[in-house]
Amino acid sequence: MPRETDTLPDIQVQWTESGIPSEESIIDAAAAGMVSRKDEPYESFVKDLSLSRAKEFLTKMIEYGHESVLEHITFQFWVSMSRVASHQQVRHRMASYTQMSLRKKRSLTTDDFVVPPQIKSEDLGEWIADSKQVIDTYEKWLAKGYEVDVARRKLTQEARTDMVMTINARSLRNYFNLRAKHDADFEINAVAKRMYQLICEEGLGFLFEDIGFE
Ligand SMILES: Cc1cc2nc3c(=O)[nH]c(=O)nc-3n(C[C@H](O)[C@H](O)[C@H](O)COP(=O)(O)OP(=O)(O)OC[C@H]3O[C@@H](n4cnc5c(N)ncnc54)[C@H](O)[C@@H]3O)c2cc1C
């Protein structure tokens, strides 16, 4: 249940076990870019390529707009958000997703509904009571013997869903450009900004810092 003082959407974003691009993958992406530029054998420049030199080179590639090089760098996140936000998320086709299925029968509680932070403390009880009503309706149709496929149609867009998203750095730049801006929906906006925060914590913010997060 959200705390009354929450001001951010009740979303969650975290790295998967192998979600953080390795230092080697950053070096490999830079070396790939060098393949297109250098008049020397690959082995001669890749063996001494340091991480700091690779980052510097990739920053230049971004400045030049040679962004296909960034497709060699892959991120993977576990994300928990509402169905309405997840619908926007999966519109980003240049990524891979695996999403929680609601075809499986779920024992739902009001924690399985994402409460918008805009809900005032005096309205929170009423909002949550409405979500409880949605759960009761879902369970009523299951109890009548209907399949989950039928009953789940009574669930509302605030129902929580989890997904794993795999996305390369080039596509993630497009995602941030569209979703980390003020006119994006507040929830996907929070997801995008949290992803960027996690990326910065890993020293990889240089791949995105020209985007201008709002
Ligand atoms: C503020 C905002 C409001 C929006 N409102 C609506 C709305 O009202 N209705 C609605 O339907 N959508 C809406 N969208 C979704 C939007 O139209 C995109 O579908 C979504 O943002 C995914 O962006 P994308 O296509 O660039 O990403 P991706 O699907 O990841 O594609 C990445 C890039 O690949 C290229 N690409 C991918 N597929 C094709 C293709 N078939 N042909 C040519 N190039 C391709 C494009 O260059 C594209 O930018 C909205 C998005 C935002 C940010």
CATH classification at residue 139? 3.30.1360.170
Contact 89, 176 (CB under 8 A): no
Taking the centre of ligand 1 as the mean of its atom positions, its distance from the CA of residue 201, in whole angstroms, is 28
Whether ipTM tops 0.85, in short, is: yes
Asked whether residue 113 falls in the same domain as residue 42, the answer is no
Q: How many domains does the chain have?
A: 2
Query: pLDDT tens digits, residue range 136-191?
Result: 999 999 999 999 999 999 999 999 999 999 999 999 999 999 999 878 999 999 99
> Best of 70, 89, 91, 167 to mutate for ligand 1, by most ligand atoms within 8 A of CB?
91
Are residue 36 and residue 114 in the same domain, yes or no? no
Per the residue annotation, which of 106, 152, 173, 179 is the catalytic one?
179
Burial of 186 (0-12, 13-18, 19+ CB in 10 A): middle
Instruction: Kindly give the distance from the C-alpha atom of residue 92 to the centroid of ligand 1, in angstroms, as a whole number.
Output: 6
b (16+ CB within 10 A) / e for 101-122: ebeeebebebebbbbeeebeee
Cα distance between residue 31 and residue 37, in whole Å: 10
- What is the number of the ligand 1 atom nearest to the C-alpha of 88? 15
In this structure, are strands 160-168 and 12-15 parallel, antiparallel, or unpaired? unpaired
103 labelled catalytic: no
CB 159 within 8 A of CB 84: no
Q: Are 8 and 89 contained in the same domain?
A: yes
Per residue in 5-27, pLDDT (tens digit) is: 446 788 999 999 999 999 999 99
8 in a structural domain: yes
